[in-house]
Amino acid sequence: MQYFEKNSRALDYIVSKDQKKHVILKYLLDQELSLKIYPFDQKAVIKKYLEEDEKVLIRMPEGWGETGEKKVSLFKILAKYIEIDCQFLQKAEKDLYLLKVERLAIAKLNREGARVPVLNGKAVATNLITPKTVIEANMFNIPTLIKVNLEDYKNRLKKNSADSIVIETFKPGLDRKFEIVKRSRKSLLLEDTQNVNSYSESGPDRLDYSKDIDDDIAAIIRKFKDQKIVSELIRPIIYKNHSDQPIPIGYIWIQSRDKKLSPDYLAELGRLSDEVVGRIKESNTIKTTEKFTILDASPRGIKVKIHDPNLIDSLPKQEGFILDVLFKMQAPLTVSAAIRWWGKDEDGNLILGLEFKSKSDHPGERDRYIKNLELMQKGAL
């Protein structure tokens, strides 16, 4: 099965030969390790450690050598997760292989609790809150819902203004000042294009034109004078996706020929920008009420199987989402989860490893979740 880690766990890498020897001989020698290949049911055993060359003799699953794999990662979960990455050297005999230890690592955090198999549909995932389209920083094709909302807000602004107003997505080939606004996620405001002092005014969310854009102020002043532009501003539109990643998707660009644009007006456009983003996010959000199988659960997260074709396509592109964990005959538990890894089984279903990002807003819900895990572990649920 395909297997991809999105947010790998925090690991401490063992560099010292003595420490490697200690970990392997004390915790891994003659122990069953899992190959890091989903569904992690293939097992291997380290039979010997050659300290001087940092090599291991490992009994691998039957037929492993026929796969032609040159790299192999194995792990064991004790109080902490231990991972060993090796390079294939040669076959020794039958199912024994000589491998070079390239990396040995131990998780920074202890495992919070065992994974409990969820049998007979005793818990399911439902009410997944996800985007219809995953909006990324460097999208080649801008979704129609963004274009429609930007056009709507441009028309609203133009109704009561004689200024030149453009509300558009960032595209290749724009003037350098637009690129800097996009990269910095800061606004540019020239209150008075004929006043040299306007070019050095800045703030926490405002660019300094003379330092950040162009220091040839005299030439810029002449250019604005020729174009009869009194004042100019560019405000980025920052979209926060469902994983709270800030993405500059577009800009508000206003040039006035008859009045000075003020910081207060820039702030007002900030509120408009937030409104635009809220509307785009609302248009881009979908709630999937189907029930999805939870394969196992732990205090920190769940493994879930997704069969919906649209979610199979979109979820691997995301960092996380909101969902309900629903135990039989109980009220749902709403959680925010990060996608730690994903894969697909033989039937094309998406398998997700989810880690809970935040506790529920409702008092006692985490305790109820843990209690359900304990009951399932005892077979009492």
Domains in the chain, number: 3
Q: What pLDDT does 6 receive?
A: 66
Does some domain include residue 200? yes
Last residue of a domain, one of 283, 308, 333: 283
| Cis-peptide, bond into residue 39, ω within 30° of zero | yes
Q: What pLDDT does 17 receive?
A: 87
Same domain for 265 and 148: yes
Q: What pTM was estimated for this model as a whole? A: 0.65
Does some domain include residue 25? yes
Same domain for 330 and 295: yes
Cα distance between residue 352 and residue 358, in whole Å: 18
Cα distance between residue 311 and residue 131, in whole Å: 10
Does some domain include residue 139? no
Same domain for 90 and 54: yes
CATH number of domain containing 89: 2.30.110
Q: What pLDDT does 358 receive?
A: 67
Same domain for 271 and 155: yes
Q: What pLDDT does 2 receive?
A: 58
Does some domain include residue 216? yes
Q: What pLDDT does 259 receive?
A: 94
Same domain for 294 and 266: no
Count Cα atoms within 13 angstroms, Cβ side, for 34: 12
**What sign has the CA pseudo-torsion 172, 173, 177, 180?**
positive
Q: What pLDDT does 113 receive?
A: 64
Cα distance between residue 232 and residue 187, in whole Å: 11
| Residues lower than pLDDT 50 in the chain | none
Same domain for 122 and 95: no
Same domain for 350 and 272: no
Same domain for 292 and 273: no
Nearest to residue 284, comparing CAs of 129, 127, 125, 171? 129
Q: What pLDDT does 362 receive?
A: 65
CATH number of domain containing 121: 2.40.10.430
CATH number of domain containing 185: 3.30.450.40
Does some domain include residue 365? yes
Same domain for 276 and 166: yes
The parent domain of residue 124 ranges over 116-134+286-378
284-300 residue pLDDT tens:
899 999 999 999 999 88
Q: What pLDDT does 241 receive?
A: 72
Cα distance between residue 157 and residue 237, in whole Å: 15
Same domain for 264 and 215: yes
Same domain for 246 and 200: yes
Last residue of a domain, one of 236, 262, 283: 283
Does some domain include residue 302? yes
Does some domain include residue 321? yes
Count Cα atoms within 13 angstroms, Cβ side, for 95: 11
Distant-in-sequence, close-in-space partners of 272: CB < 8 Å, separation ≥ 6: 153, 157, 252
Q: How many residues does the chain have?
A: 381
Does some domain include residue 243? yes
Last residue of a domain, one of 235, 263, 283: 283
Helix, strand or coil for residue 372? Answer: helix
Same domain for 230 and 162: yes
Pairing of strands 43-50, 32-35: antiparallel
